[in-house]
Homo-oligomer: A and B are copies of this chain.
Amino acid sequence: MSKCEQCIVREFSALKALNKDELLKLADCKTSFTVKKGDIIFEEGDSLDGIFCVKDGVCKLTKLSSNGKDQIVKLVTKGELLGQRSLISEEPTNLGATALEDMQVCFVPKSQVMEFFNVNNKFSLSMMKNVCHDLKEADNVLVNLAQKSVKERLAITLLYLHDTFGVNADESLKIQLSRDEISSIIGTATESCIRLLSDFNKSGWIELSGKKIILKNKKELRKLAE
């Protein structure tokens, strides 16, 4: 059982507000596990009995719409927590979580998190800041979905993927999403997404080879994304 002190999650999440003693407690009660690409971490409506720390890998948070299509609401990457909202609200999850890559995850039981809430105000405040940040992001995405065209949203999404997850040595986006998943982020039909990617490709703004996407002209993409 590894210590939590050096964990990347501690660096970026609300866990940074924990002191040494609390970190020891955390290391003691947590359970580590791996998740394979495509595996479901939890489903929409599940009752969680704790939160997840993402040590490595990326997952998508999705919600099934009544039209039968999944919408990707957020991507969660290493260093972030998963399931806080559900835990704090004491409600079943509103979104499901599925691994986009192989992941390393720790589970921290609710009782321990609640104890931290009760004895460490900084932790509460830090967690609150996290949720507030998520809320701000959700509001921004919401406005984009309401006001921007599919083409603009695709440009925004490509730049987001570039800036958030970085690129490989060949400049291609590190995170690999299927066309279907990209469509599910921007909220459009898969065919429309594929067509627009082709258009971007023909315009020379991006380069496609298989699943690889290289952003060749970020300036033009940014102009679209505004």
- How many copies altogether? 2
19 pairs, CB–CB < 8 Å, chain A vs chain B: A71-B143, A71-B147, A85-B132, A88-B128, A88-B129, A94-B136, A94-B140, A95-B139, A118-B121, A121-B121, A124-B124, A128-B128, A131-B132, A141-B142, A142-B142, A142-B145, A145-B145, A146-B187, A147-B187
Among B66, B85, B186, contact of A135 (Cβ-Cβ < 8 Å)? B85
Chain A: interface residue total (CB-CB under 8 A): 42
Give A118's nearest chain B residue, CB to CB: B121
CB-based contact B187/A145 at 8 Å: yes
Q: Please measure, in the bound complex, the distance between the C-alpha atom of A49 and the C-alpha atom of B83, giving whole angstroms.
A: 31
Among B67, B118, B135, B144, contact of A131 (Cβ-Cβ < 8 Å)? B135
Among B67, B69, B127, B147, contact of A69 (Cβ-Cβ < 8 Å)? B147
Known contacts A85-B136, A94-B136, A136-B94: A73-B124 contact under CB 8 Å: no
